[in-house]
Amino acid sequence: MASLSVAIAFGVRLLLVLLFLPFSALDKILNFKGAVGQARQAVHATGPATLLILIGLGVEIGMSLCVLTGTADRAAAFVLAGYCGATALLWKQFWAPGDFWAGGKGRELFWDFLKNFALAGGFLLITFGTGAGTVQDFFADPLASSHPYAVQARP
C-alpha cells in the first residue's frame, strides 16, 4: 500500500507540473524566437522579452523539478502559483478584445484565464496544505519540504 501512496502522490504532482515540464519549457526551447515574439506583447523591446522567456524557462524547469522531488516544494509551488497568475494577467486578458459577450476571442481567453488561476490554486494546496492547521507550517519554514513521499504508519 505504501508504494501505491507514493505513486499517487507523485502522479498528482506530475499532473500539476506537466503543463510546464516538459511541454511549455520544451516549446520555449524549440521555438525560442516565437516565444520571444509572444513575450514582446507584454514588453515591447526584444531584450526584456528575451529575459522574460529565460526567467520563464528557469521557473518552469527549476520549480517543476522542486515540486516533483519535494525539494523546497512549498516555496517552488508558491512561485509557480504566482507565475500562473502573472501569465494569466499578461497573456490571457479576456477583457481586452471587447467581444466577451459575443463569443469571440475574449471568451476563449476567459477560460484560459480561469484555468491559470485554477492551476495556481492547486499549487497553493502544496504550499499551504489542505487545512487551516497546515498554513502555519509554510510561514514557519517556507523552504522546508512537505515530504510528499513519506509514508507514515497510522495508529
Q: Is residue 152 part of a domain?
A: no
pLDDT class for 152, splitting at 50, 70, 90? confident
pLDDT for position 130: 85
pLDDT, averaged across the chain = 93
* CB of 100 closer than 8 Å to CB of 106: yes
User: Tell me, what's the pLDDT at 153?
Assistant: 58
Residue 131 confidence (pLDDT): 85
| Within-domain flag for 128 | yes
Question: For the whole model, what pTM was predicted?
Answer: 0.91
Q: Say how many domains are in the chain.
A: 1
> At which residue does the C-alpha cell 518552469 appear?
60
For 79-100, what is each residue's pLDDT tens digit? 999 999 999 999 999 998 888 7
Please check the confidence at residue 154 and state whether its pLDDT lies above 70: no
CA dihedral 114, 120, 125, 128 (to 10 degrees): -130
Is residue 148 domain-resident?
A: no
CB 37 within 8 A of CB 53: no
d(Cα 21, Cα 27) in Å, to the nearest integer? 10
In a domain, 109, yes or no: yes
Residue span of the structural domain in which 44 resides: 2-140
Average pLDDT on 122-130 reads 94
Residue among 141, 146, 143 nearest 131 (CA): 146
* Encoded amino acid at 1, one letter: M
Would 31 be classed as within a structural domain? Answer: yes
pLDDT in tens, 14-46: 999 999 999 999 999 999 999 999 999 889 999
